[in-house]
Amino acid sequence: MRILIEDVNILIDDKIVENKNILIENDIIKQISDSKSFERIDYIIDGKNKIALPGLVNTHTHLAMTLFRGFADDLPLEEWLEEKIWPQEAKLTADDVYWGSLLGICEMIRGGTIAFSDMYFFMDEMAKAVAESGIKASLSVGMIGIAGDENETLNRGVSFAKNWHNAEDGRIRVMLGPHAPYTCPPSFLEKVIDKAIEMSLGIHTHLSETYLEVENIKNMYGLTPIRLMDRVGLFNVPVLAAHCVFVDDEEIEILSEKGVGVAHNPQSNLKLASGVAPVKKMLEKGVKVGLGTDGPASNNNLDMWEEIRLVATLHKGVERDPICVPARDALIMATKNGMEILGFENSGIIKEGYKADLILVDVNKPHFYPRHNLVSHLVYSASSSDVDTVIVDGRILMEKRELKTLDEEKIMYEAEKRAFELIKKS
């Protein structure tokens, strides 16, 4: 399949390159040029008044929690989890996770997200949803190491990895997913690390999300979560660490030295009153930071444009520094950094020879005028509804705001039905 995107503006590095033509051959960006003279074009997309940029990457979410969107809001994290979310999750079925995942994927594609990382359960069903939709994902079975079935839990994660890692021509990747230091003691984590090394897998976990978590871990082990993970050896494999809100300067050095990828979830952390991660210091020390929404029950959407704008504004206010996290850096966090953290190679930028993972944003709208700085407009003015076209591995998942691979109406109906059936089980 050879697709030509004509007369499109392209985001390359921190600049907009105007009026180019992008030739996509199968899953690769074959050529970027001024010429339209190509042999055998199967499909043409009009790129006028649009910007092509790398697809967005949600580095941390719990997709099937779309079913709990709006169910429990304005509560402390511990109460929210222990009294509301966990009791409902205990009643989830594999079918619930499948339809909840599809609902989230519809929302993400509509907003220009082309890849995400998720830790949950019934992950075979989520993987099936990913396979059907055409999106990319790094998936992990959430593992709890204090429930008395540690070996069975680990085996589920390992079995899932064996079945799905690099499936769908590499669109699906798998990490092992020990939930957090407070649910996974060192003895269990050591087993997880051994398996990750044996299978050449990364690890996805939650770290230092709340002040209470950090204090509890210090009381239990005499170390903060990140220092404990360093001592246990977690950082000897590639790690995606979600949150990292309460970290000190020395811990930031550890994250940098060990190459840990951090999923910054600014909106969820604010909504749950967890705090604000020291992103400025992380970036200054070379920590690779991506952006995430966290689960749609604690955000409450999967809109990466909101996270992009928030990361570029929140830290300016917190640091009292108007140049902290400039627009260019916010976009890199949401694209290139995210793909690298998730382990997808040759993606995250628009470049010849790279994967055809890109989106087209319609900038022929009032909030993009006057066009003094379109890079700035993407960060401070754009929204999900501006995304016109989504292409993943050279396959069109959405064009002119119409989803091509999913039956959106059916998915919304099935998800709504299952969400309220769960509540009735209470």
Q: Answer yes or no: is 310 within a domain.
A: yes
Query: What pLDDT does residue 417 have?
Result: 97
Residues 50 and 60 in one domain: no
Q: Is 39 annotated as a binding residue?
A: no
Pairing assessment for the beta strands 239-243 and 203-207 based on DSSP bridges:
parallel
Name the phi and psi angles at 403, rounded to 5.
-70, 135
Q: What separation in angstroms does the CA of 176 have from each of 63, 155, 160, 172, 301?
A: 17, 10, 9, 13, 25
Number of domains in the chain: 2
Q: Answer yes or no: is 424 within a domain.
A: no
Q: How many angstroms separate the CA atoms of 292 and 267, rounded?
A: 9
Residues 269 and 396 in one domain: no
Full-prediction pTM beyond 0.85? yes
Residues 305 and 386 in one domain: no
Going by C-alpha positions, the residue among 396, 353, 392 that lies closest to residue 31 is 353
Residues 47 and 65 in one domain: no
Output b/e per residue, 151-162; b: 16+ Cβ within 10 A: eebbebbbebbe
| Domain boundary pick from 300, 315, 342 | 342
Task: Report how far Cα 155 is from the mean position of its chain's Cα atoms.
Answer: 25
Q: Answer yes or no: is 383 within a domain.
A: yes
Query: What pLDDT does residue 256 have?
Result: 99
Q: Answer yes or no: is 415 within a domain.
A: no
Residues 31 and 140 in one domain: no
Residues 16 and 79 in one domain: no
Residues 105 and 219 in one domain: yes
What is the CATH classification number for the domain harbouring 209? Answer: 3.20.20.140
Please give the chain's pLDDT, 426 residues, in tens.
999 999 999 999 889 999 999 999 999 999 999 988 888 999 999 999 999 999 999 999 999 999 999 999 998 877 888 899 989 999 999 999 999 999 999 999 999 999 999 999 999 999 999 999 999 999 999 999 998 888 999 999 999 999 999 999 999 999 999 999 999 999 999 999 999 999 999 999 999 999 999 999 999 999 999 999 999 999 999 999 999 999 999 999 999 999 999 999 999 999 999 999 999 999 999 999 999 999 999 999 999 999 999 999 999 999 999 999 999 999 999 999 999 999 999 999 999 999 999 999 999 999 999 999 999 999 999 999 999 999 999 999 999 999 999 999 999 999 999 999 998 886
**The residue type at 37:** S
Tell me if 206 sits within 8 A of 180, measured CB to CB.
yes
Q: Is 206 annotated as a binding residue?
A: yes
Residues 74 and 187 in one domain: yes
Residues 24 and 77 in one domain: no
Two tokens, residue 102: 């599809």
In sequence order, the 6+-apart residues with CB closer than 8 A to the CB of 93 are 122
Q: Answer yes or no: is 409 within a domain.
A: no
Residues 179 and 164 in one domain: yes
Q: Answer yes or no: is 167 within a domain.
A: yes
Residues 304 and 363 in one domain: no
| Domain boundary pick from 317, 342, 367 | 342
Tell me if 402 sits within 8 A of 83, measured CB to CB.
no
Name the phi and psi angles at 22, rounded to 5.
-110, 120
DSSP codes of every residue in 133-163: H--EEEEEEEE-SSSS-HHHHHHHHHHHHHH
- 3-state DSSP assignment of residue 242: strand
Tell me if 134 sits within 8 A of 323, measured CB to CB.
no
What is the CATH classification number for the domain harbouring 372? Answer: 2.30.40.10
Q: Answer yes or no: is 419 within a domain.
A: no
| Domain boundary pick from 292, 308, 342 | 342
- Count other Cβ atoms within 10 Å, centred on residue 417: 11
Three-state helix/strand/coil letters over 68-120: HCCCCCCCCHHHHHHHHHHHHHCCCCHHHHHHHHHHHHHHHHHCCEEEEEEEE
What are the start-end ranges of the E strands in 273-422?
288-291, 358-362, 387-392, 395-399, 402-403
Going by C-alpha positions, the residue among 277, 273, 280, 246 that lies closest to residue 263 is 277
What is the domain range of residue 90? 56-342
Q: Answer yes or no: is 164 within a domain.
A: yes
Q: Is 60 annotated as a binding residue?
A: yes
Residues 74 and 193 in one domain: yes
The sign of the torsion formed by the CA atoms of 227, 233, 234, 238 equals positive
Find the helix or strand (DSSP H, E) in which 178 lies. strand 177-178
